[in-house]
Amino acid sequence: MRWTRTLAALVITIAWAGSAALPAPLQEPQPPSPPPRFMVVLDAAHGGNDAGGRLNSGQLENAVNLAVNVRLRSLLGARGIQVVTTREADVSVDLNRRAEIANHAKAEACLILHATETGSGVHLFASSLAPAQPTRFAAWKTAQGAWVTRSLALAGVVNSALTHAGINVTLGRTALPGLDSMTCPAVAVEIGPERGEGNKITAEPDSSDYQAKIATALAAAVLQWRTEAHQP
């Protein structure tokens, strides 16, 4: 009987020692966390029955806005930024519909693209609405009030990027029906002609090189805005 108990104890000891020597099971590596979502809306103003203004070259504003839209969308997409556009062709899009697109996308930024023959460089406009507290159901035409502080910050980032690129910038605030209904940081970017000494025009808004210069600066601004938005 004593021999049987001794043998059983020996078997248990050997079994315990064997199990202790086994390596711990390998844990499956965890997939990396997806990058934070960052969505930008590009709103090429006018289109379809609404041609907008006309440049000295004869080019219509709606075509210039769309050309810059295509350039900027490509630059942002190449940098991994998700982009939603309000139009991709010469079609009419109601102002309310443009705001609906931006609001549905829950955009981190919306750039409304315009062109003009007046002034110099780029004119940046934020909403003239007074800052307001966010509400569960934002009132149409005044929804931007809850975002205007962030919109002014976005305008500051865009201003810095454009100025760094050597582009003259004029800052302003105005009432814009589409923008005022947006529930996201939003600014209107109006591209005027580039001027040199004596206020002489050196590049029109429909100049391919000028558009590329502005689109590159705007892309840099969006990248900076994304960095600031994702800082803890």
Q: What is the pLDDT of residues 152-203, one digit of tens each?
A: 999 999 999 999 999 999 999 999 989 999 999 999 999 999 999 999 999 9
In a domain, 203, yes or no: yes
Q: Assign residue 220 the CATH number of its domain.
A: 3.40.630.40
Query: How many domains does the chain divide into?
Result: 1
Q: How many CB atoms lie within 10 A of CB 51?
A: 13
Q: How do residues 102-155 score in pLDDT, each as one tens digit? A: 999 999 999 999 999 999 999 999 999 999 998 877 788 999 999 999 999 999
Range of the domain at 114: 39-229
List the 186-191 sheet strands across, edge first.
Answer: 82-85, 39-44, 109-115, 186-191, 122-127, 169-174
Smallest CA-to-CA distance from 211 within 63, 91, 87 is with: 63
Q: At what angle do helices 61-78 and 208-229 cross, to 10 degrees?
A: 50
In a domain, 13, yes or no: no
pTM of structure: 0.84
